[in-house]
């Protein structure tokens, strides 16, 4: 029986020897950079995601700047289209922030989109986000 115990002890020591050597080389649980975590029974809530929206002040500044460029006369078609698309994008962003329903993203270019743009722009002027432009009727 003593021989059996010695044999088992030898097998266990042989199996654990590489683990002990590796732990000694690495430095064990107190080694710098080791991340040993204790079991925690607390519920971990996910961290809130940072807002992907830009601040309202930046959107208002962009809307004011682009509106001034959009309401100019005598632009070439390519300039007009580029400014129209940029203006529609920033108007839609501002309207979404103020919870103003809009169809600027879904309407095709044309008279209906122009009316929707004018409606949203008027609502943003009323909210104090945009200045009133001389090209608009009072």
Distance CA 130, CA 126 (A): 8
What residue spans define the domains of the chain? 56-126
Greatest extent of the chain over all pairs of C-alpha atoms, in Å = 106
> What integer pLDDT is reported at residue 45 of this predicted model?
79
> What integer pLDDT is reported at residue 105 of this predicted model?
92
At 43, is the pLDDT very low, low, confident or very high (cuts 50, 70, 90)? confident
Cβ-Cβ contacts under 8 Å for 62 (sequence gap 6 or more) = 90
Q: Structure pTM?
A: 0.60
Q: Is the pLDDT of residue 116 over 70?
A: yes
Q: Is the pLDDT of residue 28 over 90?
A: no
Torsion of CA 109, 113, 114, 118, to 10 degrees: -150
């Amino acid at each position: 029986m003593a021989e059996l115990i010695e044999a088992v002890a030898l097998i266990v020591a042989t199996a654990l020897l590489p683990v002990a050597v590796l732990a000694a080389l690495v430095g064990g649980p107190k080694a710098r950079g080791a991340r040993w975590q204790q079991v925690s029974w607390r519920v971990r809530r996910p961290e809130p995601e940072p807002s992907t929206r830009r601040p309202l002040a930046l959107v208002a500044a962009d809307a004011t700047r682009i509106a001034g460029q959009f309401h100019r006369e005598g632009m070439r078609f390519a300039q007009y289209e580029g400014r129209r698309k940029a203006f529609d994008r920033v108007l839609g962003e501002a309207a979404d922030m103020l919870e103003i329903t809009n169809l600027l993203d879904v309407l095709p270019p044309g008279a209906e989109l122009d009316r929707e743009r004018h409606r949203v722009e008027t609502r943003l002027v009323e909210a104090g986000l945009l200045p009133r432009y001389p090209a608009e009727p009072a």
